[in-house]
Amino acid sequence: MPLKIDGVQLEVGYRIDILVENKLVLELKSLEVINDLHLAQTLNYLKLGGFKLGLIINFNVTRLKFGIKRVANGI
């Protein structure tokens, strides 16, 4: 995702893991615990890209359904 600050454009400012249909941001992790830092990272991707919905998916869990966290921007 390109980033533009004070008229300067950086082509590789942020790297979204997966963007689905230009609407849904998927942030993939393999961590013991998802904390507020990961939530803030995904929320920044949503705000900068103008997207409304994101999912943080943590693969380091016993069942995948326990590792999915929904993040919404302005919903």
Taking the alpha carbons at both ends of the chain, their separation in whole angstroms is 22
* pLDDT tens digits for range 61-72: 999 999 999 999
Query: What is the C-alpha separation between 4 and 23, in angstroms, rounded?
Result: 20
Give the up-direction half-sphere exposure of residue 59: CA atoms within 13 A in the CB hemisphere.
5
**C-alpha Rg value of the chain to the nearest Å:** 13
**Domain boundaries, given as residue ranges, for the chain:** 15-72
Lowest model confidence (mean pLDDT) among 13-22, 26-35, 42-51, 60-69: 13-22
Q: Check pLDDT > 70 for residue 4.
A: no
Which DSSP helix (H) or strand (E) runs through 48? helix 36-49
